[in-house]
Amino acid sequence: MKLLRHGPKGQEKPGVLDSDGRVRDLSALIADITPSTLSPAGLAALRALDINALPAVPQGTLAVPWSGLGKFIAIGLNYADHAAESNMPIPKEPIVFTKTVDSAVGCNHAVVLPKGSVKGDWEVELGVVIGTRARYVSEADALKFVAGYCVVNDVSEREYQLERGSQWDKGKGCDTFGPTGPWLVTTDEVGDVQNLSMWLDVNGKRFQTGNTKTMIFSVAQIVSHLSQFMTLNPGDLITTGTPPGVGMGIKPAPVYLKPGDVMELGIEKLGQQKQTVHAWNPDRIDN
């Protein structure tokens, strides 16, 4: 299934995409797509529905595909060639940092550069959505705890991340720095999550081309690893690193985001996103 939420902020309605790409309304059956919806029982109940019997509705503005996002956890330098372009060593175990819940926005929401930003950057990433509470799970069992996958743009401010102390979170958690969606695609529709092509363009120019098969740490390894240090709850989101081609790594000189730039990105089977970059403005309600 491809689950989504759409409509004005605070009035989002739950939906599911049918085989023809039409939005089918779920609001008569569930009030929202919540962490409980993502549990094995919740997803089984949705799979039992005749999707084509549900009313087709026009798609509104897309939001994060589920409500109640708990933790937004990120993995850094998870592609060897991205580590190389960043002039950083290949990690011996996953590098873990967090993005704020406020950074998560709909897939086509504007990305707003924070005040004083000079090094905004892009990162197309595979997002992993937890469906079952996970604590000390094995690598062999880890994927059983996953509800589905989505596209994430791990937008970054490199000066904040790398030049403002040792913690990456400063440059990763700014408002709007985590566009998510368009859909949450359940695991049964994705198949082999370690063989999905991914790409990102800025202003129509291709900068990133990659595949999840080149991850240093697989999704199963990441979920198992994180569960040794924290409880993963339904609705938690893990974004798993980016392939090469980020602005910081461009030679001979880095290229950074500026107001008016347009990012387009996608992952095989998971859909695509499009964001326009804006400067921070106190009069904009989405700053």
Q: How many CB atoms lie within 10 A of CB 20?
A: 7
Q: With contact defined as beta carbons under 8 Å apart, do 259 and 284 qualify?
A: no
Q: With contact defined as beta carbons under 8 Å apart, do 268 and 192 qualify?
A: no
Alpha-carbon gap, residue 81 to 244, rounded angstroms: 6
**Alpha carbon 148 to chain centroid distance?**
11
Reduce the DSSP state of residue 203 to 3 states and report it.
coil
Indicate the pTM of the whole model.
0.96
Taking the CA atoms of 36, 41, 44 and 48 in sequence, report the sign of the dihedral they define. negative
Reduce the DSSP state of residue 208 to 3 states and report it.
strand
Q: How many CB atoms lie within 10 A of CB 1?
A: 18
Looking at residue 4, its pLDDT comes to 98
For residue 150, give the amino acid letter. C
Looking at residue 84, its pLDDT comes to 80
Q: Running DSSP on this structure, what letter comes out for residue 53? A: G
Q: How many CB atoms lie within 10 A of CB 166?
A: 6
Looking at residue 285, its pLDDT comes to 58
Question: pLDDT averaged over consecutive 10-residue blocks of the chain (287 residues)?
Answer: 96 96 97 98 97 96 97 94 80 95 97 94 98 98 98 95 81 95 98 97 98 96 98 98 95 96 98 97 70
Alpha-carbon gap, residue 116 to 79, rounded angstroms: 29
